[in-house]
Structure 1
Amino acid sequence: MAGGWSRDGAVQDQIDASIDDEVKRARSQLSGGESAVDCDECGRAIPEARRKAIPGVRLCIACQSAREEQQSTSRGINRRGSKDSQLR
């Protein structure tokens, strides 16, 4: 149930839009093609099991983990506009 000036279902529409955005972002980061034998950042060998599991992989596990950690700390979407979410 929406209240105030918003129509019914507006909150669910915002949730759906947030999920769609994150799915698009995740899909855009998927690699394809030939996997690298050595990591592009540190030069260490990428295990064959990782190369088979993830087509187009370019980074070793340590470098990929570090990159994901950096990305997770820099992301923040405030769709709600509530006061507590703006204070982060």
Structure 2
Amino acid sequence: MASGWANDGAVQQQIDSTIDDAVARARSGLPSGESLKVCEECGEPIPEARRKAIPGVRLCITCQQEKDSHNSTFAGYNRRGSKDSQLR
């Protein structure tokens, strides 16, 4: 496959790097430690089933859904080396 100035395997390296970044970002958001009994955002009680299912949980379901909806807007990285992608 002709890829201009890129060396062989450069496309796969870009894909692997993007996946590694996404996994690291997801792991950094995982809770750790002991679960809280009340939500640190709103103060509502966190159900025991949730605390057992997710060790280290800090937020109630409602606050967690709101946080997740804000985090889902992440667009990723533009790692393509084409000139067109750099002009956007």
Secondary structure (helix, strand or coil) at the match of 1:35 reads coil
Matched position secondary structure for 1:14:
helix
> Residues 86 and 41 from structure 1, CA distance in 2 versus in 1: closer, same or farther, beyond 3 angstroms?
farther
85 and 71 in structure 1: CA distance in 2 versus 1, 3 angstrom threshold: farther
Q: How many residues align?
A: 86
- The structure 1 segments of at least 4 consecutive aligned residues displaced by more than 2 Å after TM superposition are 81-87
RMSD, aligned α-carbons: 1.9
Unaligned ranges ≥5, structure 1? none
Deviation at 1:27, TM superposition (A): 1.0
TM-score (norm. length: structure 1): 0.85
Could you tell me the TM-score, scaled by structure 2's length?
A: 0.85
Aligned-residue identity in percent: 62
**Structure 2 stretches of 5 or more lacking a match?**
none
The aligned residue for residue 15 of structure 2 is 15
Per-residue CA deviations over 1:16-46 (Å, capped at 9, x if unaligned) read 0000011111111111111011111111111
